Structure 1
């Protein structure tokens, strides 16, 4: 099968200066999630949306949807926890962060800019199939070393019973699924309506990595999460398939789950090298 090329779905001839307010929206997420500066983050988000409106109304519409999602997520801490109240609070907030932009796009803007293309009908290439196998192998090699050597595993709770373990497993996979629905199918797809794939990809990755920092991927975690976020955007641009990027992400998250449990409970899962 011939290698697929990245199509250009840009629908709007957005001026280059439109990158400035768009970058402002991405940086606002860094302030909100990475640095925990709510006042500055929300102020920058608001100023960026006003700036986008001055550049292009279509850009302002799309950035407003990204901004709505970012603002909703910022309403609560997303630091990893497994207590029942935090489990449902974080879950509800994340669901709203995807649902509200989608509903505004459909029923206020009367468009279908946000879509969740489950399958494209095209077979995956040999390289894409190989990557699905490579992801858990790379995770198995890298993640235990990252979590243990950096101490980042302490950002996740020490699981003490079966109920907590089950909630942790569900939570890891739920957040992984949400990542693709929000950062890729919402943020990245909306930015691709105005900018090239690499511009849009870097801008969504800033939001993606900032969220993962607050979640717990700290210390030198961005060295891992930034390439992963960029790869997920690139793969979605290449395949157009939510199913594909979701399979990749959830396979990776299975190893995340096992590696964190292993880090907290050495010897319980003797399947890692570290």
Structure 2
């Protein structure tokens, strides 16, 4: 492992400015990695992944999606996959070289579309509990959580309680100040999740069907080395969903991470990074 340092970076997306972090290795880089979070998350959801990957020699970027974290809320009001992919295209084109995209959930589907539709822009693809065939019940559970506190919270303790109820497999944080990365404090003093409420507007049925077809078509064209990391306890990606992805991308590697749910990287960051590191090591071989 080598030392690394972090700096703030910004990109211009189609819907406004996108905020990010970049971890730079002290030694010459082995390549570039782009971390894309899921819906309702921020770049901070990757935890120690950025510094660990940079310590292994990779220049690593993590970017807040439009309407999330410190990125601008979409000036055009669009939050569908088409808009997210447009932003991601701008980001990868600004990279020093084609990156390995590591995407969780919505971020994974974004990377999947990029890899299928713009193969020259992607060196490799890691899908973190993200496949074209997701389970409706799991997706509805996530949406219900995101809509569950429209009036916000009176304290960070209430925020911690809400997260603990949603993710009972995780320990409640001892230091609640870290939760400030996930929420914003309004003029009324209440804490609200760090995303634009407009992100939760459900798409019209024709758009949803078209988006699903686009994802599947892109997956069938992916040529880049691909790894699917599934949370063994996930209610969003099942073994059947993983099998469906492998039929679309026959060369894709697949691994389950025991004891983790949909938020694989956050549930067990060390095991997640072990699996990803092995995949990255293979990329460097002839």
TM range (shorter): under 0.3
Greater RCO (Cα-Cα under 8 Å, separation 6 or more): 1
More strand per residue: 1 or 2?
2
Q: TM-score, normalised by structure 2?
A: 0.26
Q: TM-score, normalised by structure 1?
A: 0.27
